[in-house]
Amino acid sequence: MRTHVLIVGPSYRGLAFDQREQVRENLRVRLEEQGIRFVEYCWVWDEQDRCLLLVGTYEDPEQATYWMEALRSMGFDLCLRTHLPGEDAEEDRTHDPADRDSE
């Protein structure tokens, strides 16, 4: 089972798109101030309308410990997830229904 490490940012509740983008930009700037830059920023939807940024995925949760400790020492709040929205849809796309006809 995969473990996803996410930085938890402020709430988006009641914010317009531009304001939400500013929340994401502020989090990117905080990371860059710590010398961290990602090639791609994967923002995750949260049922509580919080800004979540995926910062790592690990097969073994033990492997995430050092990264999590480092991020916490920089002042970031974190959460762990074993499932992300849309993962099932992603798996469905890897199996082309046309392939079933040839089986």
Number of domains in the chain: 1
The DSSP secondary-structure symbol of 79 reads E
Contact 50, 9 (CB under 8 A): yes
Phi/psi at 78 (nearest 5 deg)?
A: -125, 160
Q: Which domain holds residue 17?
A: 3-101
Q: What is the pTM assigned to this prediction? A: 0.80
User: What pLDDT, on the 0 to 100 scale, is given for residue 46?
Assistant: 84
| pLDDT tens digits for range 11-31 | 999 999 999 999 999 999 999
| pLDDT tens digits for range 43-68 | 998 888 999 999 999 998 888 898 99
CATH code of the domain containing 74: 3.30.70
User: What pLDDT, on the 0 to 100 scale, is given for residue 37?
Assistant: 96
